[in-house]
Amino acid sequence: MTLAAAVAARCRLTGTFVLRSGRTATEYFDKYQFEADPVLLDAIGAGLAPLVPPGTEVLAGLEMGGIAVVVALARHAGLPCAFVRKAAKPYGTNRLAEGTDLTGRRVLLVEDVVTSGGQIAISAAELRNAGAIIEHAVCVIDRQEGGTEALAAEGITLHALLTRQQLDR
């Protein structure tokens, strides 16, 4: 079974779903299903590793689904990680990103599923304001609903391990 077939079999649901972007979809990729499977998640990390652009210094996983993926990827890419919150926590360290420092470093954003690219764009803007250099992002699944184009407009190239088209085969 191919990786695309394994991911689709594990996480593709049909029905009516409201996505993070606010759009309604008739299918949903429940990323927690592949993230909860250690064998499949490890294969995803191995598959993502060749997509890491040269010069990347830090892998930054976006809360919440990108956290498991970034750890799996880091294991194969041999790069340090950061864990990016949707908002800086109002207590303790008050940080937006935990783990490895991102200031002045070339950071690859890691996400699970991309539809509109909205959360990547928001997080990239905040991290750039904090001094991170962000030109690329990777995801496990690109739903091919405009995220790649929206991110390109923000100066971010999206690299997808799998596309909706591949999962449809």
pLDDT single digits (tens) 7-42: 999 999 999 999 877 889 898 999 999 999 999 999
Q: What structural domains does the chain harbor?
A: 44-168 (3.40.50.2020)
* 123 annotated among ligand-binding-site residues: no
* 31 annotated among ligand-binding-site residues: no
* 86 annotated among ligand-binding-site residues: yes
* 117 annotated among ligand-binding-site residues: yes
Spacing of C-alpha 90 from chain mean position: 24
- H helix or E strand, kind and range, residue 113: strand 106-114
Give the mean model confidence (pLDDT) for residues 94-117.
95
* 118 annotated among ligand-binding-site residues: yes
Contact 89, 63 (CB under 8 A): no
pLDDT, residue 98, reads 94
Return all residues near 40 (Cβ < 8 A) that are at least 6 apart. 6, 7, 10, 34
Question: Looking at the predicted structure, is the pLDDT value of residue 124 above 80?
Answer: yes
- The dihedral through the CA atoms of 76, 77, 82, 85 has a sign that is negative
* 89 annotated among ligand-binding-site residues: yes
The whole-angstrom separation of Cα 101 and Cα 83 is: 10
The pLDDT-based confidence of 88 (bands split at 50, 70, 90) is confident
Contact 137, 109 (CB under 8 A): yes
- Alpha helical stretches, state H, the chain: 3-11, 31-35, 38-48, 65-77, 118-129, 147-153, 164-168
Task: Give the model confidence (pLDDT) of 36-85 as tens digits.
Answer: 999 999 999 999 999 999 999 999 999 998 999 999 999 999 999 999 99
Report CA-CA distances (Å) from 78 to 39, 48, 58: 19, 12, 10
* 93 annotated among ligand-binding-site residues: no
* 116 annotated among ligand-binding-site residues: yes
* 112 annotated among ligand-binding-site residues: yes
The pLDDT-based confidence of 168 (bands split at 50, 70, 90) is confident
Give the mean model confidence (pLDDT) for residues 123-136.
97
